[in-house]
Amino acid sequence: MSNDFLDIYTDGACKGNPGVGGWGVLMRYGSHEKTLKGAESHTTNNRMELQATIEALSAIKRPCKIRITTDSVYVKNGITQWIHSWKKNGWRTAQKKPVQNAELWQQLDNLVQQYDIEWAWVKGHSGHPGNEVADTLANEAIEQWREQHQG
């Protein structure tokens, strides 16, 4: 990976869907790394995938070129393809139903406008190093949440 990009790896996880969910982020710029993670009590996997990407972009301190790698087709296709129609249709799907997680999509849309972002998809649980770290962080966040709230 070139130093020209801030590489971001995001993942979400959910124990039950809905259930306790976690998100994880690995950010890498040259030799610098930062990790982020968090959890919510009653959520879905898709919401956690979106939250991971929102948290990553919210943590950026200065303009740069970004490469976001996700294992979520929902996030990648949603932000690069589907969102244009949703916005044109007043946040409704082609079937005229409200877009699920519209408030998160709107947050993400506002954030992506600020950056030059290249989107990449990888198959989840396929051994991709950045994705595996993000997945581990998301699951750690779930376990930490459970220990704090059920112990």
CB count in 10 Å sphere of residue 4: 10
Q: Please identify which of the residues 7, 12, 38, 132 carries the catalytic annotation.
A: 12
Q: Please identify which of the residues 7, 40, 132, 135 carries the catalytic annotation.
A: 135
Q: Please identify which of the residues 7, 40, 71, 132 carries the catalytic annotation.
A: 71
Q: Please identify which of the residues 42, 84, 125, 149 carries the catalytic annotation.
A: 125
Please tell me whether the peptide bond between 63 and the residue prior to it is cis, using omega within 30 degrees of 0: no
7 is catalytic: no
125 is catalytic: yes
Q: Please identify which of the residues 11, 21, 24, 40 carries the catalytic annotation.
A: 11
DSSP assignment of 11-61 equals EEEEEETTEEEEEEEEEEETTEEEEEEEEEEEE-HHHHHHHHHHHHHHT--
49 is catalytic: yes
116 is catalytic: no
User: Could you give the CA distance from residue 40 to residue 18 in angstroms, rounded to a whole number?
Assistant: 10
Q: Please identify which of the residues 7, 40, 49, 132 carries the catalytic annotation.
A: 49
78 is catalytic: no
55 is catalytic: no
Residues designated catalytic: 11-12, 49, 71, 125, 135
